[in-house]
């Protein structure tokens, strides 16, 4: 009997279901519907809140008593939906599933009220890392990041420091403080602005700053992940140690590709950033980082295993063009 209860308990806790038009079937907890999106936690896809366009939903069922509205009267009861319309068990009248539809749980605020508020997520991490390039060594990096998301935009800020040594030689010594702003997080096209300021002493860069604005395009998006392309213009400024290279102050392009995919047992993420100078084609840098986030439980801790590359087209002598880093990172995230 205890074994049967242990088997059935997850089905009771995650009783809501949704079927998507591409054939995907989801079981979890539907938290709310607002602004044409259904927000759902799916344990099989991790602990993140997935935002699914209603246009992609074929049908769904919420077995708990919830609130349903199309902007007018509020209906109460369990809710089922199919064919583009939803109905609460306590009402004979259905509502259309569109941008006016709201669904929320009794203890939660009404979605249109909550959507205007910015929801913050905070993350701190610490890792052990190795590096290869001009030298091979080990060290650590540490980071802190805050991300605030509303229905209209996403604001994020973070700082990361890296220190790696090989004997008495410094293989990496850098600091980056970043701030970014992105509009329309659920749309196909959006605009963004970002800044990156800090130093990279191992590469003899005493001070660096990059400020860019541009357009982003959501090439692909579903409940399991997304692929974003960013194209922008900005200004790059760098000063170098001991006058080894003239100060750089030049307009630059800003190109980026961001990929996120939920695998169930882990989340795969990859990012490639290219910043070429518009004055000298051979003066550029390209950064890449790919990682797997796994060992995720109900708590705030997870483990991230990753690989990163830093390629410079015109490095300060005697630095090499390509540096490679690999890391095992402990992540602590909270809301």
pLDDT at 166: 77
Taking each continuous run of H as one helix and of E as one strand, the counts in the chain are: 2, 21
pLDDT at 134: 57
Q: What is the pLDDT of residues 206-254, one digit of tens each?
A: 999 999 999 999 998 888 889 999 999 999 999 998 777 889 999 999 9
Angstrom distances, CA of residue 260 to CA of 172, 182, 257: 27, 17, 10
How far, in Å, CA of 203 to CA of 240, rounded?
9
The label of the residue with tokens 């990682």 reads 291
Q: Alpha-carbon torsion 123, 125, 130, 134, what sign?
A: positive
Helix, strand, coil % in the chain, rounded to nearest 5: 10, 65, 25
Spans of all domains in the chain: 2-115, 119-334
How many other CB atoms are found less than 10 A from the CB of residue 13?
10
Return per-residue pLDDT of the chain as tens, 335 residues. Answer: 444 444 444 444 568 999 999 899 999 999 999 888 899 988 888 777 888 889 889 999 999 999 999 988 899 999 999 999 999 997 888 999 998 999 999 878 887 776 667 889 999 999 998 887 656 788 999 999 999 988 788 999 999 999 988 777 787 899 999 999 999 766 789 999 999 999 998 888 999 999 999 999 999 888 888 999 999 999 999 999 877 788 999 999 999 999 999 888 899 999 999 999 999 888 999 999 999 998 887 678 999 999 999 999 988 877 788 989 999 999 999 87
> Minimal CA–CA distance to 121: which of 153, 148, 159?
148
pLDDT at 78: 94
CATH class of the 119-334 domain in this structure: mainly beta
310 and 326 Cβ atoms separated by less than 8 Å: no
139 and 172 Cβ atoms separated by less than 8 Å: yes
pLDDT at 4: 43
The label of the residue with tokens 């997304």 reads 226
pLDDT at 5: 44
Question: How big is the chain by its Cα radius of gyration, in Å?
Answer: 24
The label of the residue with tokens 């483990």 reads 303
Query: Under 8 Å CB-to-CB from 312, ≥6 apart: which residues?
Result: 203, 284, 285, 319, 321
pLDDT at 58: 95
Q: What is the pLDDT of residues 325-335, one digit of tens each?
A: 999 999 999 87
pLDDT at 14: 66
How far, in Å, CA of 160 to CA of 219, rounded?
29
Angstrom distances, CA of residue 153 to CA of 180, 190, 209: 11, 9, 24
Distance from the Cα of residue 134 to its chain's centroid: 32
- 77-93 as b/e, with b when 16 or more CB fall inside 10 Å? bbbbbeeeebbbeeeee
Average predicted confidence (pLDDT) for the chain: 88
pLDDT at 141: 94
H or E segment at 242?
A: none
Distance from the Cα of residue 56 to its chain's centroid: 21
Is the pTM higher than 0.75? The answer reads: yes
pLDDT at 231: 97
């Amino acid at each position: 009997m205890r074994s049967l209860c242990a088997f059935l308990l997850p089905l009771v806790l995650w009783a809501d279901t949704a079927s998507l038009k591409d054939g995907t079937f989801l079981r979890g907890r539907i938290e709310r519907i607002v602004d044409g999106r259904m927000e759902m936690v799916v344990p099989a896809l991790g602990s993140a809140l997935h935002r699914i366009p209603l246009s992609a939903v074929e049908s769904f069922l919420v077995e708990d008593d919830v609130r349903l509205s199309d902007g007018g009267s509020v209906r109460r009861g369990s809710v089922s939906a199919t064919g583009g319309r939803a109905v609460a068990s306590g009402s004979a009248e259905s509502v259309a599933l569109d941008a006016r539809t709201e669904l929320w749980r009794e203890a939660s605020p009404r979605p249109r009220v909550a959507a205007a508020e910015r929801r913050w997520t905070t993350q701190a991490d610490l890792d052990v890392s190795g590096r290869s390039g001009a030298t091979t060594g080990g060290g650590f990096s540490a980071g802190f990041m805050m991300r605030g998301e509303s229905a209209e935009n996403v604001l994020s800020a973070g700082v990361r420091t890296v220190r790696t040594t090989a004997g008495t030689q410094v293989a990496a010594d850098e600091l980056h403080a970043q701030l970014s702003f992105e509009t329309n997080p659920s749309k196909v096209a959006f605009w963004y602005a970002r800044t990156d300021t800090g130093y990279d002493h191992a590469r003899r860069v005493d001070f660096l700053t990059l400020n860019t604005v541009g357009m982003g395009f959501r090439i692909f998006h579903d409940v399991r992940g997304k692929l974003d392309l960013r194209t922008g213009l900005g200004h790059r400024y760098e000063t170098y140690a001991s006058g080894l290279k003239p100060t750089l102050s030049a307009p630059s392009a800003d190109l980026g590709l961001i990929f996120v995919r939920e695998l169930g047992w882990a989340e795969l993420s990859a990012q490639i950033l290219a910043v070429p100078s518009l004055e000298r084609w051979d003066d550029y840098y390209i950064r890449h980082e790919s990682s797997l986030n796994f060992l995720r439980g109900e708590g705030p801790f997870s483990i991230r295993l990753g690989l990163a590359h830093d390629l410079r087209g015109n490095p300060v002598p005697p630095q090499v063009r390509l540096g490679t880093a690999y890391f095992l990172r402990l992540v602590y995230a909270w809301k």
